[in-house]
Amino acid sequence: MKLAPSILAADLADLGRAVALCEEGGADLVHVDVMDGHFVPNLTFGAPMVAALARRTELPLDVHLMVSNPDRLLDDYLEAGAAWVSVHYEAAVHLDRLLARIREGGARAGVVLNPATPVQVLDAILTELDFVLLMSVNPGFGGQSFLPYVLDKARRLRGEIDRRGLAVELEIDGGVGLGNIAQVVRSGIEVCVAGSAVFGAADPAGRMRELVAAASS
């Protein structure tokens, strides 16, 4: 299992410290939630912020684009140094072209599905993906409750990926914490995003290690 702490839940006035904590806690990725105030009702990090974070850490930046028009913004985030980039299925008109551009830009390409979007929409495009990000909350805010029915989507998609012998990784985002991470991993998820579970703890680096330990329990 890979752990991707979401810095949305960190002290936003001290993001340099947030990525340092990710390194200290042994995180595999740093999850960066880009919100445009249009696709989701919240506004967060622009490309210059991502570039500044990339200068601060060797950890790969996992950039989750919650934006209405990913076509228009994608190149800025690729140039900023994103290592993993995911675009929402619900926001993409020309998904194949977006994914090709992500890969040409040297990043790993992913598609995000909102909780209500069925995994079957990915059938045709699965071979062009490096990863799928399943939202287990409605995107826009940290600290929401995990939607358990998303585990069925994870199991179904994991089955399909394995049946076709593909190397697509499965990531989950929203409401993951000590109480459910083992169950999440058992459903076939390899990458867990955790925001408030990590940065809401008194010792975020220690909590990252606890989450990794709990995942294999």
Residue type, 64: H
- The item of ligand DX5, Zn ion, none sharing an interface with residue 81, based on CB under 5 to 8 Å by kind, is none
Q: Which of 29, 61, 194, 208 binds ligand DX5 (CB under 6 A)?
A: 194
- The item of Zn ion, ligand DX5, none sharing an interface with residue 16, based on CB under 5 to 8 Å by kind, is none
Q: How far is the CB of 84 from Zn ion (least distance, A)?
A: 11
Q: Which of 36, 62, 173, 203 is catalytic?
A: 173
Q: Which of 184, 196, 201, 208 binds ligand DX5 (CB under 6 A)?
A: 196
Q: 164 exposed, middle or buried (CB, 10 Å; 0-12, 13-18, 19+)?
A: exposed
Q: Does 9 bind ligand DX5 (CB under 6 A)?
A: yes
Q: Which of 3, 29, 137, 208 binds ligand DX5 (CB under 6 A)?
A: 137
Question: Could you tell me the two tokens for 134?
Answer: 């399943």
**Starting at the edge strand that comes first in sequence, how are the strands of the sheet with 131-135 ordered?**
2-5, 191-194, 169-173, 131-135, 108-113, 84-88, 61-66, 30-35
Q: Which of 10, 62, 64, 89 binds ligand DX5 (CB under 6 A)?
A: 64
Q: For residues 217 and 182, is the Cβ–Cβ distance under 8 A?
A: yes
Query: What is the C-alpha separation between 22 and 24, in angstroms, rounded?
Result: 5
Q: Which of 60, 139, 188, 204 binds ligand DX5 (CB under 6 A)?
A: 139
b/e code 37-70 from CB counts within 10 Å (16+ = b): eebbeeebbebebbbebbebbebbbbbbbbbbeb
**What x/- string results for residues 144 through 183 when contact with Zn ion is judged by CB under 5 A?**
-----------------------------x----------
| Site residues (CB under 5 A) for Zn ion, limited to 19-58 | 33
Answer yes or no: 33 catalytic.
Answer: yes
Answer yes or no: 203 catalytic.
Answer: no
In a 13 Å sphere around the CA of 101, the CA atoms on its Cβ side amount to: 18
| Site residues (CB under 6 A) for ligand DX5, limited to 31-60 | 31, 33
- The item of Zn ion, ligand DX5, none sharing an interface with residue 9, based on CB under 5 to 8 Å by kind, is ligand DX5
- The item of ligand DX5, Zn ion, none sharing an interface with residue 44, based on CB under 5 to 8 Å by kind, is none
What radius of gyration do the chain's Cα atoms show? 16
Cα–Cα nearest to 130, from 62, 69, 211: 62
**Catalytic residue numbers?**
33, 173
